[in-house]
Amino acid sequence: MLGIVLPLLSSACWGSADFVGGMLSRRLPALTVVAVSQLTGGITVLLVAAALAEPLPAQVWLPFLGGVVGALGLVFFYSGLAAGTMSVVAPIAACGAVLPVAYSIAVGQVPRPLVTAGLVSALVGVVLASLGTGVEAEGPKPRRPRRAVAAAVGAAFCFGVFLLCLGRASASSPHSELWLAAAARAGSLPTLAVLVIASRTPPPWRSLKVRDLGPIIAVGLADVTANTLFLFGSSAGTLAVSSVLASLYPIATVLLARLVLKERVGRVQGAGAALAMLGVVLVSAG
């Protein structure tokens, strides 16, 4: 059950972090939000790993590579959340779970029929949710919907690679999940530094205000917690199941957008959410 419960908890953490990060990106540069949150999360997981004296993993290049690609995905994702409707951008980005599922099947890790049906139901649900047209009843309207969708597709690819790298790393280095999460941050932070320099934007701290520090730190802590839970979950279960369940984070993002921003969820999106939940039930039963 840990292979089911932990990825679901990671999806809740990711979804909550994505909502807050998306809101912050509407008034701050996306690079600022990602860089500062990744830095705080990285410092935290490094200190925790050192304090618990976890064994060092045999391979760190996989999570490091995942961190590099994942950082690019977060920039794409937060840019999409800032430019478009969260209820549309988040489900599209979650489709990246297709990559680790395809890899698992390619190497012969074919799930049982009931689990396979659950994975298909969850993925179809995410796709249907992405086809809906969430409309904000209150607050700012989507400014650049086409750009938002393009950014979401880029984020989906990057997140798929990120999940694949972390899942393979956890399989090869069990009981070193915290160090693997720290290695992912070691890959993301230099990447973000290069992006900040290349974009010629002011240093992240110049656009920050005191009121922004608390939410950004919370985003960083929630994100690194989700990464760690996913690593533990993929160690306890299978990569395909963990990736799909962890990719249900748009449900939390959409619910928060509905409660806070009053985004209306259309019938197609509602059906997608229902299929995603059905997928969780089938995977759990299998």
pLDDT at 244: 82
Check whether 205 has a pLDDT greater than 90.
Answer: no
Q: Judging by beta carbons within 10 Å of its beta carbon (0-12, 13-18, 19+), is residue 286 exposed, middle or buried?
A: middle
Min mean pLDDT across 100-114, 158-172, 221-235 is at 100-114
| 8 A C-beta contact, residue 123 and residue 246 | no
Tell whether the model's pLDDT for residue 79 goes beyond 70. Answer: yes
Which sequence spans correspond to the domains of the chain? Answer: 2-285
Asked if residue 86 has pLDDT above 90, the reply is no
Q: Which two tokens stand for residue 155?
A: 């984020």
Share of the chain above pLDDT 70, in %: 85
Which residue stretches of the chain are H helix? 2-24, 30-52, 61-83, 86-94, 98-106, 113-131, 145-172, 177-199, 210-236, 239-246, 250-260, 267-285
Q: How confident is the model at residue 78 (pLDDT cuts 50, 70, 90)?
A: confident
Which pTM was predicted?
A: 0.81
pLDDT in tens, 123-181: 787 667 656 544 444 444 545 667 887 888 899 899 989 999 998 888 777 778 889 89
42-75 residue pLDDT tens? 999 989 988 886 677 777 888 999 999 999 998 8
Quick one: CA torsion of 38, 41, 44, 48, rounded to 10 degrees? -120
Q: At what angle do helices 113-131 and 250-260 cross, to 10 degrees?
A: 40
Q: What is the pLDDT of residue 135?
A: 45
Position 19 pLDDT exceeds 50: yes
Report pLDDT for 143.
Answer: 58
Burial (CB < 10 A; 0-12, 13-18, 19+), residue 267, is exposed
Looking at residue 6, its pLDDT comes to 92
Residue 116, pLDDT score: 79
Cβ contact 54:235 at 8 Å: no
pLDDT averaged over the chain? 81
Structure tokens that stand for 23 in this block: 């809101």
> Looking at residues 241-258, what average pLDDT do you find?
82
